Amino acid sequence: MPHDEESALRIECVEIQNYRKLASVRVDLASETTLLVGANNSGKTSALIAMRAFLAGDANTFRLEDVTLSGWSELEAIGERAAREQLDEDEAAILLRDIRRVLPSMDIWFEVSASESHLVGDLIPTLDWSGGRVGVRVSLEPRNIRELATDYREARDRRATLDPATAPSTEESLAPEESPTFPVEAATDGVATQPVVPEAVPSIPQRSSESFPIWPGSFVEFLRRRLARHVTFRYYVLDPDKLAPTVDGLALPQDLDDPATEIDASRLRDLVRVDEIGAQRGLSESRARSNPLASSAETSRLSRQLSDYYSRHLDPTDSPDASDVEALRTIAQAQVEFDKRLAEAFAGALGEMQSLGYPGVTDPRILVASRLTPIDSLLHDSAVSFLVDDASGEAGGSVRLPEGHSGLGYQNLISIVFQLMGFRDQWLGVGKARRGARGNEIEPIHLVLVEEPEAHLHVQVQQVFAKKAYEVLRNNPILQDEHAPTSQLVISTHSSHIAHEMPFANLRYFRRLPAGTQRTVPTAGVASLGGVFGTEIATKSFVTRYLRAQHSDLFFADAIILVEGPAERMLVPNFIRVSFPALDSSYVSVLEIGGSHAHRLRPLIVALRVPTLVITDIDAAAAGKSAPVQRGADQQTTNPSLKEWLAADGSIDLLLDAGSDEKLADLTDTSAVRFAYQVPVEVDLGGDGSTEVLPSTFEDALVADNPDFFRTLDGAGLTKKVRDALATNMTAPELMVTLFESLKDAKKAEFALDVLGSESFESVKTPGYISEGLRWLESKVIKVVVDTGSAEV
């Protein structure tokens, strides 16, 4: 691997295996900011959680549900072997190897220069290593495989001491105190019916020995309750020469050597410090409204964050030095004066108590004294307030409002920035933090994970955050040196505005893989978008500029539609709303891009693997000149997308007669691209019956399918020309020629607005070629919904 001797130690990538939907993926990390994008339920959140869990978490936080579902059957088979009376040393080793392949793990690969070798000494694989790549696997595995087997065998034996007939095995059964169980009616045609709830006491389920579940009914059920008790993290050195390239977005993790070189957990944790900002930042007032007794510290989130920052880095009472003496003197003087005032204020009340005989001679006396601390002064409701300009000219010139009166967007931004600053300063030991238990040690890598920062943020603020967040993490003189430690920021987002502020090279696209693609259950793959265009610099530049101009939600869509021009861009979403309910309820990204440029998006569309419909014009030409579509006229299409992407030979006659399957391109197991262009239409203008016409554009195809609608449509420009043409006695083919000429210099967007503005718009028939394409896309989306219907984890 080529390596820059001056570059700092950094995480190059992580490979996650068997963790939720991430059966085997690689996430490459940029040297500064990495953006995780993708549709809902594609695994972005799982990736962030996995990074935190394996780099800074505890093994006992893992649950059975964290194991990829396809591995549960393998665990069951392992459990049957583990339940044997005795396991010799070889059997135990084989069992450990097999369960290790099913449980989650993560490989962390570092980029290291030879001059930094002292930082990764235990990770260096061979004596001849001279800089480059080193790796470590964090493996979740049984602490002691024999103890796990014994525990399961004993639990199963306890269950077996009861009459097996009274303890049916059920995968979903829980402990009796957790879930009541009712008798189940006999299956009909192989399908079990719903449980029968006793009618005598419907609100209090009646149990019986015939239906009482006994734990554990299976090894998987045993692990659901006991996994955390038996697992631990182990750390193994990896071989850089065995790091295989990904295949179609899926990682191929190496097998561990036998025996594998194991290292202590501290070696990894001394390398990487991990901080995280979750999506739920607790800034709303819902808690205060639902709980009137909630304290100010609980409801004033910004006040709490500022006080936390103060206590870590600024508090003069914490190991004071010379710079803190003046602040301490001021606090002490204020406390003395306040105590005098308290004594005067309470003198009357305390004297009144003495007149009642208390305190007596032997009773302790009451003393009222203050306790002034900087932290307490930051925890009240008005510790953080916002100044509002006042133009009235009165003294002060501004009005203060408490933090709860500011918009959630500002609160969220301030909260995130303060947390980033706090993470940075705690890592570097700024202020009082340097006197913590860590001493002066600084981990070489600071990895910060931020989940969905766009919550409550205005579009412009999202863009500013995307550009400035990393600068906040590096805003310290210590970090300006070329040999300074490394900061790496990883953000997951659903915001197209944040995505468009990042270079393509920084985007990691998470795509959903239906069941049967990689495993027997739905999983995920990851694509690094920086390499999708290869060496096509011109194409890459065009696509980057185009997507930034469009602000599309391409990276978060269930389906994509590329359209030819503004008329289609306005009308196709409305056709979907009226006639295609499944598409209307899905995340469909509609991009306007001319037929001469759509093919430039091909590498990106193929990488995303999202079902895509390209609605384009057939663009007929004769002798190199644009012409109305005709059969048998030796016409060729000038549309590069049809020729280069669809791989058509360009013959208009062949395109007109192409079947539905012949309009498909880039077929994969999970997606496809389909083209929709103008096809022959049967038109009845009310004269000589139906006649075949050959539209050339979206507009004349729309007219051909809706002549009655356009006869009465109000409007000027192209709308008037269409209305006037339909009022004549011309034939349908003559109408197409007239419209072709009218469309050369027409304002198509105005035409589309006239159509949209009609009170009878919902009666407009979708042009046949578009309707056919939308039906295909709808079928693909419905399949995606079936395959990935669960919420993202």
Structure confidence by residue, pLDDT tens digits, 495-528: 888 888 888 889 999 998 888 888 888 899 999 8
3-state secondary structure of 298: helix
pLDDT above 70 coverage of the chain, percent: 72
Q: Tell me the average pLDDT across 521-549.
A: 78
The model's confidence at residue 733, banded by pLDDT at 50, 70 and 90, is confident
Half-sphere exposure of 415 (CA within 13 A, CB side): 28
Q: Does residue 43 belong to any structural domain of this protein?
A: no
3-state secondary structure of 425: helix
Strands 33-38 and 486-492: parallel
3-state secondary structure of 188: strand
Q: Is the pLDDT of residue 66 over 90?
A: yes
Q: Is the pLDDT of residue 722 over 80?
A: yes
Q: Which two tokens stand for residue 6?
A: 């001056």
pLDDT reported for residue 623: 85
Q: What is the rounded CA–CA span in Å between residue 86 and residue 150?
A: 9
pLDDT reported for residue 205: 47
What residue numbers bound the domain in which 298 lies? 286-408
Q: Which residue type is seen at 471? A: E
The per-residue b/e assignment along 491-504, b for 16 or more CB within 10 angstroms, e otherwise, is bbbbbbbbbbbbeb
Q: Give the chain's length.
A: 793
The model's confidence at residue 293, banded by pLDDT at 50, 70 and 90, is very low
Q: Tell me the average pLDDT across 21-25.
A: 94
- Specify the higher pLDDT residue, 294 or 688: 688
For 477-491, how does the pLDDT look when each residue is reduced to its tens digit (9 = 90+)? 989 887 889 999 999
Cα angle 65, 70, 73; round to 5: 90
Q: Does residue 3 belong to any structural domain of this protein?
A: no
pLDDT reported for residue 331: 67
pLDDT reported for residue 253: 93
Least confident span in 23-37, 38-52, 98-112, 774-788:
774-788
Mean pLDDT: which of 18-27, 203-212, 273-282 is highest? 18-27
Q: Does residue 569 belong to any structural domain of this protein?
A: yes
Q: Tell me the average pLDDT across 382-386.
A: 48
pTM of the model: 0.78
* One-character DSSP codes across 35-91: EEEESTTSSHHHHHHHHHHHHH--GGG--GGGB-GGGHHHHHHHHHHHTSS---HHH
Give the sign of the dihedral formed by CA 264, CA 267, CA 272, CA 275. Answer: positive
Least confident span in 27-31, 188-192, 215-219, 262-266:
188-192
The model's confidence at residue 543, banded by pLDDT at 50, 70 and 90, is confident
pLDDT reported for residue 481: 84
Q: Is the pLDDT of residue 357 over 90?
A: no
284 φ, ψ (degrees, to nearest 5): -75, 170
The model's confidence at residue 295, banded by pLDDT at 50, 70 and 90, is very low
pLDDT above 90 coverage of the chain, percent: 36
Give the sign of the dihedral formed by CA 606, CA 608, CA 611, CA 615. Answer: negative
- Specify the higher pLDDT residue, 363 or 594: 594
For 320, the enclosing helix (H) or strand (E) is none
Q: Is the pLDDT of residue 680 over 60?
A: yes
Q: Is the pLDDT of residue 367 over 60?
A: no
Q: Does residue 508 belong to any structural domain of this protein?
A: no
Q: Comparing C-alpha atoms, which of 695, 699, 698 is closest to residue 620?
A: 695
pLDDT reported for residue 330: 74
pLDDT reported for residue 113: 85
Q: Tell me the average pLDDT across 225-246.
A: 93
Q: Tell me the average pLDDT across 182-209.
A: 40
| Last-in-domain residue among 408, 443, 463 | 408
Least confident span in 60-74, 211-225, 759-773:
211-225
pLDDT reported for residue 209: 47
Mean pLDDT of the chain: 79
Q: Comparing C-alpha atoms, which of 475, 140, 427 is closest to residue 275?
A: 427
Q: What is the rounded CA–CA span in Å between residue 465 and residue 459?
A: 10
| Last-in-domain residue among 408, 429, 455 | 408
Number of domains in the chain: 2
Q: Does residue 437 belong to any structural domain of this protein?
A: no
Q: Is the pLDDT of residue 379 over 60?
A: no
Q: Does residue 366 belong to any structural domain of this protein?
A: yes
Q: Does residue 607 belong to any structural domain of this protein?
A: yes
* Residue 173 near residue 218 (C-beta atoms within 8 A): no
Q: Comparing C-alpha atoms, which of 658, 612, 651 is closest to residue 633?
A: 651
pLDDT reported for residue 356: 54
Q: Does residue 636 belong to any structural domain of this protein?
A: yes
The Cβ of residue 275 has, within 10 Å, a number of other Cβ atoms equal to: 19
Q: Tell me the average pLDDT across 86-103.
A: 90
pLDDT reported for residue 792: 40
Q: Which residue type is seen at 69? A: L
pLDDT reported for residue 184: 37
pLDDT reported for residue 346: 62
| Last-in-domain residue among 408, 437, 468 | 408
